[in-house]
Amino acid sequence: MLSEKLTSCGIADTTDIQTSWPSEERLKKGPVVIVECFQEIPCNPCETSCPRNAIVVGVNINDLPKVDHNKCNGCTVCVSRCPGLAIFVIDQNYSPTESTITMPYEFLPLPQKGDMVDALDRAGEKCCRAKAIKVVNTKAQGKTPLVTLAIPRGMEKSVRFFKMVS
Ligand code: SF4
Ligand code: SF4
């Protein structure tokens, strides 16, 4: 069941987020997908793009994707394929104090590796500073480049976008 916050203003709250969150045991093993797709829509590129069958929508294309986090190796292939920009990959093992989040980014200019940016939450509010550590923009990503940010440990459930700063 969707939270009132999600149905009224489109912003997932902690109860919505928990339904898509991997176990602590899986998070400790390395990068893993986070699929924040909460509404039934006719869509399944997440399923068809995953080489490990970690995401299943199934016969009814309106069903919500089901994720087997233990099959996912965090390859990020599905992130740029999702038209809803609803898929992220999180790695809590980046450093003793930082995690990473890989997200789709369809704006220009793209950040450069090493740039500091303002990380934003789901409401578009600044929640911390972050460093762009990887930017991938090849033919394989189509028109949806991938940006990986290093973020302070503990911000994995909050950071979902970023703003370039001059
Ligand atoms: S990150 Fe890779 S392995 Fe994991 S669900 Fe996406 S495509 Fe599949
Ligand atoms: S591709 Fe994205 S929007 Fe479409 S069903 Fe999968 S997660 Fe949802």
Q: Provide residues with CB under 6 Å of ligand 1.
A: 33, 49-50, 52, 54-55, 72-78, 89
Q: How many structural domains are present in the chain?
A: 1
Give the structural domain span for 125.
4-164
Residue with tokens 């590129």: 45
The residue whose CA is least distant from atom 6 of ligand 2 is 46
Distance CA 19, CA 35 (A): 10
Name the DSSP class of 81: G
Residue with tokens 């409401």: 123
pLDDT of residue 1: 84
pLDDT digits (tens, 9 = 90+) for 146-165: 999 999 999 999 999 999 98
Q: Provide residues with CB under 6 Å of ligand 2.
A: 35, 37, 43-46, 57, 65, 82-84, 86-87
- Cα Rg for the chain, rounded, in angstroms? 15
pLDDT digits (tens, 9 = 90+) for 93-129: 999 999 999 999 999 999 999 999 999 999 999 999 9
